[in-house]
Structure 1
Amino acid sequence: MRDELTSGRDAATWSPLDSDGWYAARNATTALRDALVRAGLEKDFPYLRADLNAFGHGLVELGRVAPDTAERLAELLRLALASGFGPDRGDLGHAPTTASEPKGRT
């Protein structure tokens, strides 16, 4: 029937706190914010926040930045790559910031 709950939950009671995607986005946003603070750029990313899309996948919203902020971020990335930090460096012992999808979902 229409009034029966599926899986004991009503879709109207869903919360982002029930989503692995939300926690992955929040953790990644926190990690990025901490790096921006260390680089002195925290005030240059006022729209930085964790978000979910309509499918419950976590996203990190960076927002708009001034051209000089983008140039500074690009320079920081160039310096990091030049010092050996890059995709070929390996895991570095960090935990992944994205949650794995439960089995059966694509």
Structure 2
Amino acid sequence: MTRLAFRMKLFPGCEAEYKKRHDAIWPELQLLLKDSGVNHYSIFLDQATLSLFGVMSVEDSHQLDALPHHPVMKKWWTYMKDIMETNEDNSPVSIPLQEVFYLA
């Protein structure tokens, strides 16, 4: 099991909408993530900077390689692009974070 962390960024005033959309996350997206080996996925918000910090465990990080090409993932990214920083393909700008400490 591999733990991954990353940072993303919300647009100002979009905090409630981001939470609302994730509270109603699509079942087909949940299934896609689970089928891709994603477990224990959390996203935290730093309200002072509007930075989002995602943390997930994955069985094999190479399973995530196919996610950007999946229609459900592309549809979710398009749905989210109006409230957060995104790349040209609508994927969120996601900065990998280096783990420097972990207490199990």
**Fold agreement, TM-score > 0.5:** no
Q: Which has the higher helix share?
A: 1
Q: Which has the higher strand share?
A: 2
Tell which structure's C-alpha radius of gyration is larger: 1
TM-score (norm 1): 0.37
- Structure with higher RCO (Cα < 8 A, 6+ apart): 2
